[in-house]
């Protein structure tokens, strides 16, 4: 279980904080529990604090000096701040919104970097190959990464991130784990807009893969902007506005016209269709109009 307890992230630097705005908090008193085996999607308007929350869930320690974090984030009841960096990297992988890599690494080298928390591991080559095959980027493996298109780069990055916490499948878990009465050691997958550069077919492919990857010992959490995709793939959807959680539940419970209007200032129509068992969301336009001056 991945939990946040009264998490509050604020800007302390007076020069950055605009005095007129009432709240300098980017994330305001958020207490959430993310369950294993579930894909949780975080939705919200630009600047709602989604990425900031995701960064805190990742246990990122080195952050901008003006950002201050209060409250705890725990994984399996252990404070993330107390994890050794390498141990945490073996259990938690993060895909950032953008990775800028200008140096001509080959695609397979980029994916193999996902294995760096394991040092010289005999399995790394096999896992790199499997991750490439899963994301269907194996035909690109000898290309220079900077020469790829944005969507291809995104799929390569996802392969790297999955390789970092790849299940050690055919190896049985060490017996000692169970004997010592340890609770299961969950792995955490955090994704920040991992479909932003993909064509529609690859958006479905990638979310499908993430769903498959979310086995009962994996906690997955993704920031997403696409409402239809969220309705289709989310096990749980969280709506955020100005650093607060304003709705939390299954897609059917959360993705209602009223909630979406409150979150985004957006008019929507929610439809049903007999071919699919999830709500179909049609955006109609902004709720309030300001027009040209």
Please identify, using beta-carbon distances, which residue of 87 and 271 lies nearer to other proteins: 87
Q: Could you give the CA distance from residue 155 to residue 208 in angstroms, rounded to a whole number?
A: 13
Question: What minimum distance in Å lies between the beta carbon of 261 and other proteins?
Answer: 34
Quick one: which of 65, 31, 23 has its CA closest to 47?
Answer: 23
Please identify, using beta-carbon distances, which residue of 148 and 246 lies nearer to other proteins: 148
Binding mask 159-178 for other proteins (x = CB under 8 A): -----x--------------
Please identify, using beta-carbon distances, which residue of 35 and 60 lies nearer to other proteins: 60
- Residues counted in the chain: 293
Question: What minimum distance in Å lies between the beta carbon of 153 and other proteins?
Answer: 11
Whether the CB-CB separation of 234 and 249 falls below 8 Å is answered with no
Interface with other proteins: number of residues (CB under 8 A): 37
Instruction: Tell which one of 14, 63, 173, 269 touches other proteins (CB under 8 A).
Output: 63
Q: Could you give the CA distance from residue 112 to residue 214 in angstroms, rounded to a whole number?
A: 21
Please identify, using beta-carbon distances, which residue of 90 and 225 lies nearer to other proteins: 90
Instruction: Tell which one of 26, 32, 58, 111 touches other proteins (CB under 8 A).
Output: 58
Report the site for other proteins in 111-130 (rule: CB under 8 A): 113-114, 116-117
Q: Could you give the CA distance from residue 150 to residue 152 in angstroms, rounded to a whole number?
A: 6
Phi, psi of 66 (to 5 degrees): -80, -10
Question: What minimum distance in Å lies between the beta carbon of 12 and other proteins?
Answer: 10
Q: How many helices (H) and strands (E) does the chain have?
A: 10, 12
Would the CA dihedral through 270, 226, 80, 183 be positive or negative? positive
100 binds other proteins (CB under 8 A): yes
94 binds other proteins (CB under 8 A): yes
Residue 200 DSSP SS3: helix
Segment contacting other proteins by CB under 8 A, of 19-27, 138-146, 228-236, 273-281: 138-146
In the chain, at which residue ranges do the beta strands (DSSP E only) sit? 2-11, 25-34, 39-44, 67-75, 78-79, 92-95, 187-192, 218-223, 236-241, 244-249, 266-273, 276-286
Please identify, using beta-carbon distances, which residue of 65 and 293 lies nearer to other proteins: 65
149 binds other proteins (CB under 8 A): no
Question: What minimum distance in Å lies between the beta carbon of 250 and other proteins?
Answer: 29
- Contact residues for other proteins (CB under 8 A)? 55, 58, 60-65, 85-90, 92-94, 96, 99-106, 109-110, 113-114, 116-117, 144-147, 164
């Amino acid at each position: 279980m991945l939990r946040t307890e009264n998490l509050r992230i604020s800007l302390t630097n007076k020069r950055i904080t605009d005095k007129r705005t009432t709240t300098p908090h980017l994330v305001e008193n958020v207490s959430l529990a993310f369950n294993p085996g579930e894909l949780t999607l975080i939705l919200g308007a630009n600047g709602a604090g989604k990425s900031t929350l995701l960064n805190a869930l990742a246990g990122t320690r080195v952050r901008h000096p003006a950002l201050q974090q209060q409250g705890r984030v725990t994984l399996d009841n252990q404070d993330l701040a107390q994890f050794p960096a390498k141990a945490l990297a073996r259990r938690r992988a993060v895909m950032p919104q953008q990775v800028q890599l200008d140096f001509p690494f080959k695609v397979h080298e980029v994916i193999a970097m996902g294995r760096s928390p394991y040092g010289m591991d005999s399995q790394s080559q096999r896992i790199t190959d499997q991750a490439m095959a899963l994301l269907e980027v194996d035909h690109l493996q000898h290309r220079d990464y900077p020469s790829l298109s944005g969507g291809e780069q995104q799929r390569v990055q996802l392969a790297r991130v999955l390789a970092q916490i790849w299940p050690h499948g055919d190896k049985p878990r060490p017996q000692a784990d169970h004997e010592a009465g340890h609770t299961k050691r969950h792995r955490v997958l955090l994704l920040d807009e991992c479909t932003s550069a993909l064509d529609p077919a690859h958006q479905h492919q990638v979310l499908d893969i993430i769903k498959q990857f979310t086995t009962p010992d994996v906690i997955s959490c993704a920031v997403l902007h696409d409402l239809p995709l969220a309705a289709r793939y989310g096990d749980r959807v969280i709506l955020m506005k100005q650093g607060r959680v304003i709705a939390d539940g299954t897609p059917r419970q959360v993705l209602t016209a009223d909630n979406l209007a409150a979150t985004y200032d957006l008019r929507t129509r929610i439809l049903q269709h007999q071919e699919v068992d999830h709500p179909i969301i049609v955006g109609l336009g902004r709720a309030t109009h300001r027009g040209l001056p």
